[in-house]
Structures are given as C-alpha cells and as structure tokens.
C-alpha cells in the first residue's frame, strides 16, 4: 500500500479519499477551509499542504482553478515547500495545460507532476468509474497508475500537459450541452409542446445521453450541485483562453449564458440550473 495525500477535500476530493481508504491506502488530507474529520473517515487531516506532502509518497490535488493549484503547490506551506525525493504529484483538477506546465516547471528537481483530470462527477467517483485523462511520462506514471485505477479507467493522453488539454477538448463539447437543452426546451414552450413530450423526442437525438442523465432534475426543477454552474462556467473560460482567437463560437455563447446565470445567483446550483431560463 502507498501513503497518499489528498489536497482539496471538497465534494469530489472527499470521495476520492474515501475510495483510496477503502482500497487500503493510508490517506492524509487537507482542505482550504476547515473540515470536520467525521466527513472523511479514515483520513488523517493535516494542517497544511506541506504536512500532507511530508506524510505521503503521492499527493493528489483536486482544486477549483489554476490560482488554487498555484497557491496549494507553490505558496507558503505549500506542497513544494515539503517535497522529498521521489514525491509524485497528481493533479486531477480542471486547470488547463498552461497552469499544469507552469507549476511543474517550478517544482524542485526530482518531483514529478502528472496531470490527470477526470471525466465524471460524484456518482462515478463513488463507483470507481471515472475516466482519467493522464498526461506525463517516465517512472512517475508507473507509480501513479495503480492508484488512479482505484478511481476509474486510466487513459494515456500523451506527454505532460496532454491530459489537461484533452479535458478541455471534452469540456468544449459537454459544457455547452445544458445551454443547448435550455434552448430546445425554450423553443418547445414557445411552440406549445409539453416539456415531457419534448424530452422524449430529445432523448432520440444526439443530446440523448445528456437528456437521459439530467431529465429527472429538469422535470423536478431541482438542480443539486453535483457539478456547480460556477465551475462549468470556469471550465468554459479555460477552454476559450486556451483556444485563443478567433473565439470558438458555441463555447463562447455557452460561456456567456452560464455567466449570466451565475450573475443571477445560480452559480452554486447544479449546472443544469441554466435549463429553463428561456
């Protein structure tokens, strides 16, 4: 068994830690805000990211954005201040390749950073069925892969930064889906088509898989924050930043819709909260 650290014990991070504990790994953890140890049974809560690194052979970071990654790894009492020979960092956040490569370049010699963002949300991490998009090379990959396999299917995307890049490619498509669904149901309402009938038809289209997954929440008008709208907006902003000019048409429009919904107070609801605003 390997000594593992998890920095970022939010909804996803707590479930990642729980999977690793269940697999028999000794796990240390830290969160940017105070956390009740009872919320992460079996995890030794540490006072700083540096303390997590000192107790671990491999540290997983699950953080909100590039600024958080820089702060947790490179800031005061950050992981980099307590690295030891052979320590491997695995970032499973969605932060884009530029942030991953920047942080990796600033780590002390002998410390490897693997980018391994995930496809899937809370239910998939609980069941160990995430798809993990790994960028990196060398012996660090061999060390990290058995740990990541506890969480789901490992997909080798290429050299460092490739996993983070591939995640943006996926998000460029999936981040627009709630906006497309919102427009389709908005059109249905304007034309007098019942929502249930419209959803039946949409399940037979290219949107089918997404509609099937979110239909219950949409019909109930409930949007639990398994993936917050504010994070979906952040992900699309990362896509647009990475893509440069000219902007990607659909992604730009979807990001604007999510930004408007966030400004209207929906940021902490599930990203399907945008459905119904038309």
What is the tens place of the pLDDT at every residue in 238-268?
Answer: 999 999 999 999 999 999 999 999 999 999 9
pLDDT at residue number 278: 60
Q: Which of 25, 85, 97 is nearest to 53 (CA)?
A: 85
- Which residue did the predictor score with more confidence, 224 or 154? 154
**174: which residues sit within 8 A by CB, 6+ positions away?**
210
pLDDT at residue number 224: 83
pLDDT at residue number 86: 86
Cβ proximity of 233 and 267 under 8 Å? yes
pLDDT at residue number 227: 84
Is the pLDDT at 163 greater than 90, yes or no?
yes
Mean pLDDT of the 118-145 span? 94
Residue 276: pLDDT band by 50, 70, 90 thresholds? low
Is the pLDDT at 277 greater than 70, yes or no?
no
Mean pLDDT of the 14-18 span? 97
Task: Characterize the bridge pairing of strands 130-135 and 118-119.
Answer: antiparallel
Is the pLDDT at 83 greater than 90, yes or no?
no
Is the pLDDT at 90 greater than 70, yes or no?
yes
Residue 275: pLDDT band by 50, 70, 90 thresholds? confident
Is the pLDDT at 53 greater than 80, yes or no?
yes
Q: Identify the structural domains of the chain with CATH numbers, from first to last.
A: 4-158 (3.40.50.720), 175-274 (1.10.1040.10)
Mean pLDDT of the 88-112 span? 95
């Amino acid at each position: 068994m390997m000594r593992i650290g998890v920095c970022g014990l939010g909804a996803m991070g707590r479930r990642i830690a729980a999977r690793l504990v269940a697999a028999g790994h000794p796990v240390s953890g830290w969160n940017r805000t105070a956390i009740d140890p009872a919320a992460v049974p079996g995890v030794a809560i540490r006072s700083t990211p540096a303390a997590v690194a000192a107790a671990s052979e491999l540290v997983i970071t699950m953080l909100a954005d590039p600024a958080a990654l820089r702060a947790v790894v490179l800031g005061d009492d950050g992981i980099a201040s307590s690295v030891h020979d052979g320590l491997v960092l695995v970032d499973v956040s969605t932060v884009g390749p530029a942030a991953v490569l920047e942080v990796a370049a600033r780590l002390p010699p002998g410390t490897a950073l693997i980018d391994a963002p995930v496809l899937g949300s809370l239910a998939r991490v609980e069941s160990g069925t995430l798809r993990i998009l790994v960028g990196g090379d060398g012996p660090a990959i061999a060390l990290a892969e058995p740990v990541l396999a506890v969480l789901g299917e490992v997909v080798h995307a290429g050299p460092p930064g490739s996993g983070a890049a591939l995640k943006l490619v996926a998000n460029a498509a999936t981040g627009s889906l709630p906006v497309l669904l919102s427009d389709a149901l908005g059109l249905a309402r304007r034309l007098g088509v019942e929502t249930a009938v419209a959803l039946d038809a949409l399940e037979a289209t290219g949107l089918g898989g997404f509609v099937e997954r979110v239909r219950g929440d949409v019909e109930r008008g409930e949007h639990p924050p398994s993936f917050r709208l504010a994070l979906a907006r952040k992900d699309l902003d990362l896509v647009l930043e990475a893509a440069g000019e000219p902007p990607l048409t659909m992604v730009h429009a979807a990001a604007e819709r999510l930004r408007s919904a966030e400004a209207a107070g929906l940021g902490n609801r599930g990203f399907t909260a945008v459905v119904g605003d038309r």
